[in-house]
Structure 1
Amino acid sequence: MDEMTEDWSSVSSPAVVVDGAAMTYRLHPGGNAETRAGLILKRFPGRVRNAEPSLKEVRALKPLSLVAQHGESIGVIGLNGSGKSTLMKLICGKIKPTEGSVYASSTPIMLGVSAALVPDLSGKDNVVLGCLAMGMTREELNSKYDGILELAGLQSAIDLPMRSYSSGMSARLRFAIAASINPEILVLDEALNTGDDEFRGRTKHRMDELRKEAGCVFLVSHSLPTVQQLCTRIIWLDKGDLLYDGEPAYGLKWYKRYTKFLSEKDVESAQRIRRRMLKELQEVRIMHKVPGRRKST
């Protein structure tokens, strides 16, 4: 594995720095086993001393380092359970890494498929609710309202309750709301896996605008055409390992081959690709911390 040292004297404008960050979860077997054990101990004080089960450690993300610059749109790909959502939660400061550190130049805005909107309200009402919840003033909302509706592209459906929307329609509305505040760092976790070519075109235009305004966008998606169309760089995670960090075409070519072999149950060929990517990966070592807001330690 090649090694690359990242010196801040040569870095133009970092938005996010992940410095050897890793995440290990400590879980109880059986999900709520801790609660059950606590009830037993309360019912039989002094008699049951070893009822609480031992904790199981799950390595969700192995130590990795990367630098995301202002003006980049970064696609994050990988199979389910690869560590994509864990990395995004670390970047957003929702959880703290068990190893290493994560830094950001401003507070990232995270948009996921479970973004908190109200199903019984209309799309229009949810636009108002979502924008105010993100801290937008009434004046800002009024000036951007029409643009949000245009980007969402829901036409007459915007007056219907959101519970009547398809998953694609909901994703379009959430993206339009989140992108309206010109966030410096925007994280889209599985939010744009659906949508037609017209919507992807509008989305690309908006993401290009964000990047031109020195924003940085992370897009987690299983839709490889969406990643290829919208992103200037991709990160490939697999079983908690960083396998690839670079330009999209090369990484997507090997990722498609990797998933094809796995679907055909050709594990040996898939593992050869995995070993190849790890060998080619340039490891980043952070030598100087980014000036700005420290997210987690």
Structure 2
Amino acid sequence: MAEPTRTTRTADTTGTPDTRVPTVIADEVHVVYKVHGGGGKGKGSATAALSRIFSRRPAPGVREVHAVKGVSFTAYKGEAIGLIGTNGSGKSTLLAAIAGLQPVARGRIYSHGQPSLLGVNAALMNDLSGERNVVLGGLAMGMSRQQVRERYQDIVDFSGINEKGDFVSLPMRTYSSGMGARLRFAIAAAKDHDVLMIDEALATGDAAFQRRSQARIEELRERAGTVFLVSHGIGTVRETCDRAIWLEAGVLRMDGPAAEVCDAYEAFSAGR
């Protein structure tokens, strides 16, 4: 099918100055990382590795992945932006780069404050109870102990992990992946963020949890925050976001109103 037109947001052409406040600017961002395949571990491998170091030859089985290719956009306060695209399109890698967790090979990223990245694989302590993880997670996000105490019950209630028993007192390793993801989101949502990036967390909950999550995202936006949401659920992006960015094979294919971008992406997916 025909390639969709790439669209980007532009300044108001009516002469009215654009008074929106930028929170994240991506300027021709490229992200390249190395993937290490299985290498030989037998006799002589250490000598071979040393030889490669001195000769500057790459290790066997190592390849470079150009995950994000020249992506540019500006995000503004009060926006909820959905990142969509097929698996391996660079969505999570782009968020990691914005959060400063993934180095940029070329281009620049500018951000207001420190963006907070929440992913389903965000590290909490599996051997500690949910209760202890709430405290540690809150402190790690910059809350005071008093703030954590004040918001503790709201975090547990929001996550819903105690709806079928006293799970908050059990080690995190006893939780399902969905329960862990809901608790991570609840901890992150307890604090206002200049930029909050959510990687698939909303896909793990039931309808009631998703409604609570969407309401919390609206609150963050109303308080002049910016929310990025990576989701394979186009319906979630339609309902939660006012803008969408479509990445495909690391390239920005479309950037604009969420409904228009989602329509174009669904037409593309149906024609594959």
TM-score (norm 2): 0.84
| Conserved? CA contact 1:23–1:62, under 8 Å | yes
Aligned to 1:136: 143
Q: 1:83 aligns with which of 87, 90, 113?
A: 90
Evaluate the alpha carbon distance shift between residue 142 and residue 44 of structure 1 in structure 2; reply closer, same or farther with a 3 A threshold.
Answer: closer
Hey, what's the Cα distance between the residues in 1 that align with 2:74 and 2:160? 34
Aligned to 2:255: 245
The one-character-per-residue Cα deviations of 1:141-179 (angstroms, maximum 9, x if unpaired) are: 112112211211222333333222222211111001011
Give % identity. Answer: 43
Q: 1:65 aligns with which of 65, 72, 75?
A: 72
Hey, what's the Cα distance between the residues in 1 that align with 2:51 and 2:255? 54
The one-character-per-residue Cα deviations of 1:202-259 (angstroms, maximum 9, x if unpaired) are: 1111111111111011111112222222111111100011111111112212222322
Amino acid at match of 1:10: D
- For residue 10 of structure 1, give the secondary structure of its aligned residue in structure 2: coil
Evaluate the alpha carbon distance shift between residue 20 and residue 158 of structure 1 in structure 2; reply closer, same or farther with a 3 A threshold.
Answer: same
- For residue 192 of structure 1, give the secondary structure of its aligned residue in structure 2: helix
Which consecutive unaligned segments of at least 5 residues does structure 2 have? 1-5
| Conserved? CA contact 2:8–2:256, under 8 Å | no
Amino acid at match of 2:250: G
Count of paired positions: 258
**How many angstroms does 1:104 deviate by?**
0.3
Hey, what's the Cα distance between the residues in 2 that align with 1:123 and 1:199? 18
Amino acid at match of 2:98: I
Evaluate the alpha carbon distance shift between residue 122 and residue 98 of structure 1 in structure 2; reply closer, same or farther with a 3 A threshold.
Answer: same
Aligned to 2:117: 110
1:22-37 counterparts in 2 under 5 A? 22-26=30-34, 30=37, 32=39
The one-character-per-residue Cα deviations of 1:5-51 (angstroms, maximum 9, x if unpaired) are: 669x73520110111111223556x35579x9972347889xx9687
Hey, what's the Cα distance between the residues in 2 that align with 1:175 and 1:50? 44
Aligned to 1:74: 81
Amino acid at match of 1:25: Y
Amino acid at match of 1:15: T
Hey, what's the Cα distance between the residues in 2 that align with 1:192 and 1:6? 32
Which consecutive unaligned segments of at least 5 residues does structure 1 have? 263-297
Evaluate the alpha carbon distance shift between residue 194 and residue 2 of structure 1 in structure 2; reply closer, same or farther with a 3 A threshold.
Answer: closer
